[in-house]
Amino acid sequence: MRQTTGWRRYQMLLAIFCVSSVSIATQAQEAKTVVGPVNPELHDGAEALLAGDAEAGVRLTLIGLKQANSARERYTAWSNLCAGYVMLEQLDTALDYCNRVIEATDGHWRAYSNRALVYVKLKRYDEAEQDLQKGEALSPGARTLKAVRAMLRDAVEPVAPSIVIDDRRQPPGPGDDD
């Protein structure tokens, strides 16, 4: 399967935000003298997503979800599962996890970003636009939202090349000087 540069860039941004979500929770717990991540599988799942290993990321995150001790850990797990299933091109499953986060809390901009990407891939552009607007209201300037916005714009308003170069060689014809 050939991936576009924009899609690969989005995957990296997505993975970075997955890890940062877990790191924030980890830092808060470490302030209470807890050594290491509170939910190692959730943390390792996010690290695997960051490394581009969606299968391991999803597997570890599902284990971490079973051990989630707080709503925040559950939301992070669901959001990371959404991202992982997008990476695996399992869009219906990704959409389910995004919806879980959004139904539980409407303040999770990453879930809107992930779901907007799912909608772009499913060619549900109006829904993608709505989610992008909600995500941008929650986190103006977020790079992942900008990346999905660019993907939506490319899908809805493709840019046609303004210059076409014909570099085919024509055999010299009669009267052509070489």
pLDDT digits (tens, 9 = 90+) for 39-90: 899 999 999 999 999 999 999 999 999 999 999 999 999 999 999 999 999 9
With vertex at residue 32, the alpha carbon angle to CA 26 and CA 34, rounded to the nearest 5 degrees, is 60
pLDDT at 37: 74
**CA dist., res. 82 & res. 99, Å (int):** 9
3-state secondary structure of 178: coil
Placement of tokens 């860039």 in the chain: 9
CB 7 within 8 A of CB 147: no
Per the CB < 8 A criterion, the answer to whether 26 and 38 are in contact is yes
The structural domains of the chain, ordered by start, are 5-153 (1.25.40.10)
